[in-house]
Chains A and B, each alone.
Chain A
Amino acid sequence: MSRFCVLAPLLLAGAAASAGPAFDYALQAERVGADVYVFIGRNEDFTAVNGGNIVNTGFIVGQDGLLVIDSGPSLRYGQQMRRAMAAIDPRPPLQVFNTHHHPDHFLGNQAFAGVPIVALDATRQGIAAAGNAFAENLYRLSGDWMRGTEVVAPGATIVPGTVKLVGRSLRLLALGGHTAADLAIYDETSGILFAGDLVFNGRAPTTPHARIADWLAALDTLEAITREAGFTALVPGHGAIARDAAPIRQTRAWLRWLEQSMQEAAVAGLDMNEVLARPLPAEFSAMALGASEYRRSVSHLFPAAEQEALSHAH
């Protein structure tokens, strides 16, 4: 009997280890520029292995505290993000921005209880309307990494424009196209542009709520910022940081191709299954998740292209 008592704790420890190293996202803050840091996620889809660490989040160190840009996919992520931030600078987070209403960008909000969380109006509405459904979906995809995660909606609406916050000059841009409302933040002090999911780098863009025309217009706005004298770096919503506009051009090329190929397929008379079966052009064959995002995008975008092609028949 006494032997079992000794064994039992060992078995439990073994079980915990096999379930992943205590659900550790191993977040490492990467310095982008003066007092600006990011946590770069993997260029993968949500899995029970990565726990949803597929997104870039960041923070800016100001005079009295930290400004947080997106809070990640889960409560655990938000908590671990706070610990990793505290290791860089002990001052408290003063404000959290949610760039848009997709779950990998706001489900860590819970870890920032008591800190003002802000977003564009349509983002707040989107989280209120679809947040729980998004969270359920991530429980399904990421499993126990999500334990305890609940939706905390932003409590205030951002007024776009240039603001002085914690001693820094921030340009808040109310854009859209990836979703109904996409916030981009240009830290004029450091010349670093947080593009949110308007820009993907080396990973195919996601389109469940996309309006391509708006998105392309937003990319033009962002690219203009990269031509400003003070610009130093671009932080995409997914993928590596860049020192130039290359990820903007890559995202634009993908979206233009996607839009054009949906239109051409619809005009040619293809059925959705035939559109799904088409191969990616060589230009995009190396892009992470290109094949799977293409298939998802067909589901999102082809019905409208089809409707357009059929209603303009003679």
Chain B
Amino acid sequence: MKLPLMVAAVALSALMPAADAANLQERGDPLNSARWNEMHKAFLAGFPYIFDPRVRVIAPGEAENPMQVPVTVDATALGKVVEVVVFADFNPIVEVLRFFPESAAAYLGFRVKLQQSTPVRAAVRTADGVWHVGGSWVKTIGGGCTSPSAAASSPEWQRQLNMVSARQWRDGELAGRLRLRIVHPMDTGLVAGTPAFHLQEIRLADAGDQPLMRIETFEPVSENPVFTVHQAVAGPVRASGHDNNGNTFSVLIAP
């Protein structure tokens, strides 16, 4: 436990005053979660990490709908980000998604199913190998992971499975924003008689097939997921991906 923190402190010393860095370590989990040690073991064991307020996890303090809790991860205040893993300490399926920003910003908006009140966290690995952890508590009445998807009560989704609707914004404050919605039940496997059925990977690339971002999605991502991404490349963006039943999609999103 001590050694990784020391490595993190070294890495951070270049970025913030030593006193601040030391403070961040000594306080321990700022969300004071009984599950933090387990989370550390599952995602960060053996790696240097630090709780870092520059990793912003924006989510409502009280979520109205536990099946569609909006989460925005913004790690753009850090340097070059290699990988982001998002997890929820008290979810029956803890891991929500991972994303690899490539040339896009270290920023992702999405929605998640929560089974009960829980911290929602993002651990962000920078190019120097240090994990920066941010998060926030979400209170919810829960049940999001064991409620049937809307698709379960309608055959409509079978005709629309993996259909993508998307749009890029090129002007104004949100220039570079891309939003996409994919029709998918995202069944968790925790509803009796309904096996896990979810998107596994979404790749965004420019017209020359240069990667912009790769997203690995797991069961807790909400039904018909909607993603918000920031990327600087002008021109069309290719979105492609697949689910855990081998269904694929590939669409071109016009600028």
Tell me the nearest residue of chain B to A297, going by C-beta. Answer: B64
- Report the separation of the CA atoms of residues A272 and B108 in the bound assembly, to the nearest whole angstrom: 12
Q: Which parts of A255-314 form the interface with B (CB within 8 Å)? A: 268-274, 276, 295-296, 299-300, 303, 306-307, 309-311, 313-314
Does B58 lie at the interface of the complex (its beta carbon under 8 Å from any beta carbon of A)?
yes
Minimum distance in angstroms from B228 CB to a CB of chain A: 4
Does A137 lie at the interface of the complex (its beta carbon under 8 Å from any beta carbon of B)?
yes
- Report the separation of the CA atoms of residues A295 and B70 in the bound assembly, to the nearest whole angstrom: 12
Total interface residues on A, CB under 8 Å, equals 22
Given known contacts A137-B141, A306-B226, is B111 in contact with A272 (CB within 8 Å)?
yes
Does A140 lie at the interface of the complex (its beta carbon under 8 Å from any beta carbon of B)?
yes
Minimum distance in angstroms from A17 CB to a CB of chain B: 31
Minimum distance in angstroms from A211 CB to a CB of chain B: 16
User: Which stretch in B33-41, B92-100, B173-181, B208-216 binds the other chain?
Assistant: B173-181
Minimum distance in angstroms from A279 CB to a CB of chain B: 16
A310 touches B179 (CB 8 A): yes
B111 to chain A: which residues have CB within 8 Å?
Answer: 272
B64 touches A313 (CB 8 A): no
Q: Which parts of B9-67 form the interface with A (CB within 8 Å)? A: 58-60, 63-65
Does B76 lie at the interface of the complex (its beta carbon under 8 Å from any beta carbon of A)?
no
A311 touches B174 (CB 8 A): no
Does B165 lie at the interface of the complex (its beta carbon under 8 Å from any beta carbon of A)?
yes
Given known contacts A271-B228, A300-B64, A306-B181, is B70 in contact with A276 (CB within 8 Å)?
yes
A295 touches B64 (CB 8 A): yes
- Report the separation of the CA atoms of residues A314 and B167 in the bound assembly, to the nearest whole angstrom: 7
B127 to chain A: which residues have CB within 8 Å?
Answer: none
B109 to chain A: which residues have CB within 8 Å?
Answer: 271-273
- Report the separation of the CA atoms of residues A311 and B166 in the bound assembly, to the nearest whole angstrom: 7
Given known contacts A268-B174, A295-B64, is B166 in contact with A273 (CB within 8 Å)?
no
Q: Looking at B70, B111, B141, B181, which has the most chain A CB atoms within 10 Å of its CB?
A: B70
A310 touches B167 (CB 8 A): yes
- Report the separation of the CA atoms of residues A299 and B181 in the bound assembly, to the nearest whole angstrom: 16
B60 to chain A: which residues have CB within 8 Å?
Answer: 273, 276, 295
- Report the separation of the CA atoms of residues A314 and B141 in the bound assembly, to the nearest whole angstrom: 39
Partner of B65, one of A299, A306, A313, A314: A299
- Report the separation of the CA atoms of residues A256 and B55 in the bound assembly, to the nearest whole angstrom: 37
Minimum distance in angstroms from B114 CB to a CB of chain A: 13
Does B254 lie at the interface of the complex (its beta carbon under 8 Å from any beta carbon of A)?
yes
B59 touches A303 (CB 8 A): no
A273 touches B167 (CB 8 A): no
A273 to chain B: which residues have CB within 8 Å?
Answer: 58-60, 70-72, 109
- Report the separation of the CA atoms of residues A274 and B177 in the bound assembly, to the nearest whole angstrom: 13
Given known contacts A140-B141, A273-B70, A276-B60, is B165 in contact with A313 (CB within 8 Å)?
yes
B64 touches A296 (CB 8 A): yes
- Report the separation of the CA atoms of residues A310 and B228 in the bound assembly, to the nearest whole angstrom: 12
Partner of B177, one of A269, A300, A303: A269
Partner of B64, one of A137, A299, A307, A314: A299
A272 touches B70 (CB 8 A): yes
Given known contacts A271-B70, A296-B64, is B165 in contact with A310 (CB within 8 Å)?
yes
B174 touches A313 (CB 8 A): no
A307 touches B181 (CB 8 A): yes
B253 to chain A: which residues have CB within 8 Å?
Answer: 313
- Report the separation of the CA atoms of residues A175 and B220 in the bound assembly, to the nearest whole angstrom: 38
A269 touches B64 (CB 8 A): no
A310 to chain B: which residues have CB within 8 Å?
Answer: 165-167, 179-181, 226
Known A137-B141, A299-B68, A307-B165; further 7 A-B contacts with Cβ < 8 A: A268-B174, A270-B174, A271-B109, A273-B59, A303-B68, A303-B226, A310-B181
25 of the cross-chain contacts (CB-CB < 8 Å) are: A269-B167, A269-B179, A270-B174, A271-B70, A271-B72, A271-B109, A271-B228, A272-B111, A272-B226, A273-B59, A273-B60, A273-B70, A274-B72, A276-B70, A295-B60, A296-B64, A299-B65, A299-B68, A306-B179, A306-B181, A307-B165, A310-B166, A313-B166, A313-B167, A313-B253
B residues with a Cβ closer than 8 A to A are: 58-60, 63-65, 68, 70-72, 109, 111, 141, 165-167, 169, 174, 177, 179-181, 224, 226, 228, 253-254
A residues with a Cβ closer than 8 A to B are: 137, 140, 268-274, 276, 295-296, 299-300, 303, 306-307, 309-311, 313-314
